[in-house]
């Protein structure tokens, strides 16, 4: 794409801040909660992660698109972000095995974006003011955009998992594998299922609103609660399902949104974070081993630390070394644990993949 002939675009934030740049992807108008990801690579995995549904993503890496896209490097069947903001956008890619340019991929996926803006200034603004709704457009003026933006609901209290979950059950892995895992899909990433299958798990993936009783008819050895988008406290159906799993004392492992749902099922509260954690470089300390891990993260909600520390049934297992937020918990008398971050992360880091082995050991002990 020749940026000199590309349409101009506007990015307007909820607080009235305006950025002017150049259109990338499709022309039109897109809305969502704006957030930033600090990963230096893996942009295609970010865009296809269902946890980013209804969000406009700012890539803090200065050059995006330089290695194109590859059909196998996806975390779901389609792009999930609402819009894209980058500094320097490249339609030229260097990787021989790339299937297309990022521009072709965005157009095919119907994604509207903006480039040639000062993303450092934008990220500093989000860090200061917090995550907020935003709008990108190549067709409307500033005042029209501000009027349209005022009609967009806040992420706080928004239930989104039902928009990204599978419409029907499906299977992943070897039917003769040693462990059967029932997966509650509230926005699952493909890499999670690959990690399960690689460790001898046969997974049956269920829609988000499936009850424990229905999943239990398959007689799984353990339950997994996936990542996903939206406010966990608005997902009463899933909280009830996780409560039933706990009451039955079945082995259960949760990641990201699944971690928050497990916390809510154990009587803890969640809260909307100021700007969330999104990137491939977040330090987390495992309090059980004393070791630190570099982790991949993508979440805008967290578990209330005071609730956890005052609950005699739940133990803090992992803590974020940047801001001391909750990164992992386990029930002291049930076969249940979870982490806020992503041990399956692709392209990396892979420091935390031992957690899948911990889940396997929990099922074997059961």
221-257 as b/e, with b when 16 or more CB fall inside 10 Å?
A: bbbbbbbbbbbbbebeebbebbbbbbeeebbbbbbbb
| Cis peptide leading into residue 143 (ω within 30°) | no
Which position among 259, 277, 318, 342 bears the catalytic label? 342
- Cβ-based neighbours of 350, under 8 Å, separated by 6 or more: none
Rounded Cα distance between 278 and 131, Å, is 12
pLDDT at 241: 98
344 is catalytic: yes
Please give the model's pTM, rounded to 2 decimal places. Answer: 0.96
One DSSP character per residue, 71-85 reads TT--SSSS---SEEE
pLDDT in tens, 214-240: 999 999 999 999 999 999 999 999 999
Cβ contact 65:103 at 8 Å: yes
For the 161-365 domain, the top CATH level (class) is alpha beta
Please determine, for residue 164, whether its predicted confidence score (pLDDT) is greater than 60: yes
State yes or no: pLDDT of 2 exceeds 70: no
Domain extent listing, the chain: 8-149, 161-365
The one catalytic residue among 73, 201, 256, 299: 256
Catalytic, 327? Answer no
Is 203 assigned a catalytic role? Answer: no
Q: Tell whether domain 8-149 is in CATH 3.40.1390.10.
A: no
């Amino acid at each position: 794409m020749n940026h000199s002939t590309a349409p101009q675009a506007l990015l307007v934030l909820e607080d009235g801040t305006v950025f002017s740049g150049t259109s990338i992807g499709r022309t039109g108008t897109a809305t969502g909660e704006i957030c930033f990801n600090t990963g230096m690579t893996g942009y295609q995995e970010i865009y296809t992660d269902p946890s980013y549904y209804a969000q406009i993503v700012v890539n803090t890496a200065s050059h995006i698109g330089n290695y194109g896209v590859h059909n196998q490097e996806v975390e779901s069947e389609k792009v999930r972000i609402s819009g894209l903001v980058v500094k320097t956008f490249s339609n030229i890619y260097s990787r021989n095995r790339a299937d297309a340019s990022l521009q072709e991929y965005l157009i095919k996926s119907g994604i509207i974006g903006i480039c040639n803006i000062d993303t450092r200034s934008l990220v500093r603004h989000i860090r200061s003011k917090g995550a907020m709704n935003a709008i990108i457009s190549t067709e409307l003026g500033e005042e029209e955009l501000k009027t349209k933006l005022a009609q967009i609901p806040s992420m706080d209290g928004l239930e989104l998992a039902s928009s990204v979950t599978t419409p029907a059950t499906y299977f992943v892995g070897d039917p003769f594998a040693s462990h059967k895992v029932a997966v509650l899909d509230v926005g699952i990433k493909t890499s999670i299922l690959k990690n399960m299958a690689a460790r001898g798990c046969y997974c049956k993936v269920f829609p988000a609103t499936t009850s424990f009783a229905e999943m239990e008819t398959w007689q799984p050895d353990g339950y997994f609660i996936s990542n996903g988008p939206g406010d966990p406290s608005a997902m009463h159906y899933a909280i009830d399902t996780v409560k039933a799993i706990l009451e039955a004392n079945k082995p259960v492992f949760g990641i990201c949104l699944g971690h928050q749902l497990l916390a809510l099922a154990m009587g803890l509260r969640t809260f909307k974070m100021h700007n969330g954690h999104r990137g491939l470089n977040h330090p987390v300390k495992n309090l059980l081993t004393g070791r630190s891990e570099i982790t991949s993260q993508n979440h805008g909600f967290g578990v209330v630390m005071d609730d956890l520390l005052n609950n005699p049934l739940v133990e803090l297992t992992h803590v974020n070394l940047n801001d001391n937020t909750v990164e992992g918990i386990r029930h002291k008398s049930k076969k249940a644990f979870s982490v806020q971050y992503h041990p399956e992360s692709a392209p990396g880091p892979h420091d935390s993949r031992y957690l899948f082995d911990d889940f396997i050991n929990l099922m074997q002990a059961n």
